[in-house]
Amino acid sequence: MPSDINHVVLVGRLTRDAELKVTNSGLQICRFGLANNYSRKQGDNWIEETNFFDCFMMGRRAEAVQRYLTKGKQIALSGELRYSRWEQDGQPRSKVEVFVGNIQFLGSSGGGSPGRSSGSQDYTGERSGGHESDQYGSGSDFEDDVPF
C-alpha cells in the first residue's frame, strides 16, 4: 500500500528577514515568510495575486542560512506542510506552515548572498548546476555530448 505524500515546492521572495531562535535544548529554529505571486484570469483581465507562507527550518543548517535570508531575496524551497493546533486566551487556534527541508538561493549573488559569481547555491554550501557526472556520481561525460 502506498504512503501518503506531503511535499511542497515554492519559489518566491522573502517577506521579512529571517529570525533565529534557540530552544532550551539547543535546537536552532529559523522562521521566515515567503510571498509567491501568480496571475489568474477574471473576465477579460489578468489579475496578479499573492500567496503568503510561514516557513521554518531547524538545526545547524537553519543557523547557517539565517543571515542570508533577508527581505526581498528570491529563493526556492522544498519541504512539507505542518499543521499546528493550540489554545490562546481560551480560543482554539491553528495554522499551516512549511517545514523546509531544502532551500536554494536564486538570482544574482550580490547583496551578501552565499552564491558564487554565477548559478545558485543550496543550503549545504554546494553549488548547484555543476558537472552532471559529479552531481550524480555516474562518471559519464554526458555534458560533453550535449549539442548546445
CATH number of residue 116's parent domain: 2.40.50.140
pLDDT in tens, 101-119: 999 999 765 444 444 334 4
Asked if residues 97 and 33 have their Cβ atoms less than 8 Å apart, the reply is no
- How many domains is the chain partitioned into structurally? 1
What is the domain extent for residue 13?
Answer: 8-36+43-139
Region of 26 please: left (phi>0), alpha (psi -120 to 50) or beta.
Answer: left
Q: Is residue 134 part of a domain?
A: yes
Task: Tell me if the pTM is above 0.95.
Answer: no
Q: Is residue 54 part of a domain?
A: yes
- Grade residue 139 by pLDDT with cuts at 50, 70 and 90: very low
